Structure 1
Amino acid sequence: MPRRQPWEELPDRVRDEVSRHIGPMRSAVTVPSGAYCDLAVTLDTAAGRFFCKGCQVDGPTDWLHRNEARVNRWLPPAAPRLRWTVEQSGWLLLGFDHVAGRHPDLAPGSPDLAPLADLLAGLAHTLTPAPPVPIQRFTYRWRDLIAPELVDGDTLLHTDMTPRNFLLGDRPHLVDWSSPARGAAWIDAAFLVLRLVRAGHEPVDAETWAGQIPAFAAAPGDAVTAFADALVRLWERKQRTAPGPHHGPLLAAARRWSAYRSHLRAYTHGA
C-alpha cells in the first residue's frame, strides 16, 4: 500500500478548512488499516472525535470518495454519518462521526456472526427500494460475469464485505460505502458467504448462516449458483491482472463454494 499521508503534511489551507468545520484539534492519529485512501486519520477535537479520510483530487480513488459522499445521507444509522466535506488545494476530505469498535471474527463458532446477520437483514430491508440517488447498477458492474436478470433488483448494496468494513462496538456498523450498487437484495449476504468460506466455514454452513437473512433465504437457487460461479471468474481475473496476497485465498474459497453449488444442483436435478 502506498505511503499514507500524515495529517501534519497536508497543506495549511486544507487543515485550516477542516478546522473551520470542527474547531481546534487536540490530536490527529493516522489509521494504518484500510485501503484506497491517501489519508485516514482520527481527529480529536473539543467538539468530539471524527474519522477523516481523503485522497488527492482527480487521483485514482477520487471517484470512490465521491461515491461515498453522495450516498451517505441516504444510509441508516449503521453507517457513520458524514458531517463535512472539504475540497481544497488538490485534496478531497470526508469527515465522519467517529465509531469505536473492532473488526469481527468470521471463524466458525464466532459470536460475532449473529450481529452481522442482523445487520445485513436490517440493511436489506431498509434500503429496499433503493433511495433516489444515482448509483451504478450491479448488472452493469458484472455485465461480463453473469446473466443480468439473475442479479437485478432495487436494493442499495454495499458490495465490499471485507471484515475490515465492519466495526463491532455498542452496535454493529458497516463503513466505507465507496462501491455502492443497485441490485438484488441478497447480494451483500452472498458476498459475505464467500468471506465465511474463506474464514474456514464449510459452504453448507456459510449458507445456513446466510439463511437467517430473509433476502438471502428468498434468493433463487439458480441465481446463487450463478453468483458463486461468477465469483470464481472474478477472482481468477483479479489474480491474473493484479495479483495480491488475499486474492489466492478468496479464489480458493470461491472455487469451494462453486463446487458445492454444482453438487447441490446435480443432486437436486437428479432427485
Structure 2
Amino acid sequence: MARQQWDQLPPALRNLITDHEGPFKDVQDPGAGSNADFAATLTAYDGSLAFCKGARLDTDQTGFLRNEIRLNQHLPRDLAPRLRWSAEADGWLVAAFDHVPGTSADLRPGSPDLPVIARTLTRMAKALTPCPPVNIQPATARWGRLLDPALIDGDTLLHTDMTHNNFLIADGHAQVVDWSMPCRGAIWLDTARMLVRLIRAGHTPTQAESWAAALPTWTEASPEAVDAFAAALAKLSRKLRDTSADAPHLAEMATASGAWVQHRLKQPQ
C-alpha cells in the first residue's frame, strides 16, 4: 500500500503532530524508505527541522516503528538521531526524531564515502557490543533455519538493513537511520550485509571483501561462518526475488548475493 501523505492522515493524528512540533510551514516526503505508512520532514516557521514517521496499527509497519522507538535510547548519540517523542492517535503510532542533515551514502567503487562507512560500522560494533538490555530478535532466529545457528550467534546489536539510504553523510561523518529491523548476533554480520550492497553498487566480490578485510569486525568471522552466511543470503534473496512482484532491487540483491557466494565457493579453503 502506498505511503500516506500529510493531507491523507486522520485529523486527530495531524493535530497530535502539530501539538508536539508546533506549527510548521512545510511537509516534505523523503521519497526513500519503505518501513513506514507515513514519513516526512517537517519545517517549522523558524527554520528548524524534525523527521516524523507513522504506522497504522493494523499493518506490519507498526512493529518496525516500535523497534525504532524501543531501541533509540540505547543507540550512540553520535551515530543515530534522537527520538523526540512518540504517541498513538486514531489507529496510528507516530514518532518524531531529530532531523539528520546529509545525503545518502555513495557505495560505488572509488567513492569517498567508503572510508566513512567503514569507520561507522566499526564504531557501531564497538558501541553496541555487548548488546544493550533490550528485547530484540536473535540472529539465530532470523537466519538459523538456513545455516548452523552457532555460526551467527553473538552479542552485538545489529542494524541489518545496510541500504545506502540509511547512511546519511555530511562533513565526513555518517548518521545511521531506520533502526527498524535490528537483531542480536555475531559482530561481523552488518559488515557482511554491507559487503553484498557494495557488490550491488558495482564492486567485484574480491574488491568488496578487500574493503571488508580492513574492518576489525571482519577478523571475528571464520571462513566457515562467512561461507554459510553467504549461501544463506543467496538462498533468501532468490526467494524474495521470486515471490515479490515489481521489485527490481530484490532482483539486483539476488544477483549480488549470488555473485558473492560463487566467489566464496571458488576460493581455496
Q: Which bin holds the TM-score, normalised by the shorter protein? A: over 0.9
Deviation string, structure 1 residues 37-72 (Cα, Å, up to 9, x no partner): 211111112482100011111212111111111111
Please give the residue correspondences for 1:131-170 in structure 2 after superposition, counting only pairs within 5 Å. Answer: 131-170=132-171
Confirm whether residue 191 of structure 1 aligns to residue 193 of structure 2. yes
Deviation string, structure 1 residues 201-257 (Cα, Å, up to 9, x no partner): 111210111122211122111101111111111111112222421122211111111
What's the offset of the Cα at 1:100? 1.4
The residue aligned with 1:61 is 61
Which amino acid letter does the alignment assign opposite residue 124 of structure 1?
Answer: A
The residue aligned with 1:21 is 20
Please give the residue correspondences for 1:98-113 in structure 2 after superposition, counting only pairs within 5 Å. Answer: 98-113=99-114
CA separation in 2, counterparts of 1:173 and 1:137? 24
Q: Is the 8 A contact 2:50 2:99 kept in 1?
A: yes
The residue aligned with 2:128 is 127
Deviation string, structure 1 residues 147-203 (Cα, Å, up to 9, x no partner): 100000000000000111111113201110000000000000000000111111111
User: Which stretch of structure 1 is more off in the superposition, 210-219 or 122-131?
Assistant: 210-219
Please give the residue correspondences for 1:63-82 in structure 2 after superposition, counting only pairs within 5 Å. Answer: 63-77=63-77, 78-82=79-83
Q: What percent identity do the matched residue pairs reach?
A: 45
* Runs of 4+ displaced beyond 6 Å: none
Alignment root-mean-square deviation, CA:
1.3
CA separation in 2, counterparts of 1:236 and 1:28? 37
Paired residue total: 265
CA separation in 1, counterparts of 2:207 and 2:4? 42
CA separation in 1, counterparts of 2:103 and 2:8? 28
- TM-score normalised per structure 2: 0.95
CA separation in 2, counterparts of 1:168 and 1:35? 20
The residue aligned with 1:9 is 8
User: Which stretch of structure 1 is more off in the superposition, 44-53 or 123-132?
Assistant: 44-53
Which amino acid letter does the alignment assign opposite residue 250 of structure 1?
Answer: M
Deviation string, structure 1 residues 13-51 (Cα, Å, up to 9, x no partner): 212222222222222222222112211111112482100
CA separation in 1, counterparts of 2:62 and 2:204? 38
The residue aligned with 1:253 is 256
The residue aligned with 1:224 is 226
Q: Is the 8 A contact 2:108 2:202 kept in 1?
A: yes
Which amino acid letter does the alignment assign opposite residue 28 of structure 1?
Answer: V
Q: Is the 8 A contact 1:155 1:185 kept in 2?
A: yes
Q: Secondary structure at the match of 1:176?
A: coil
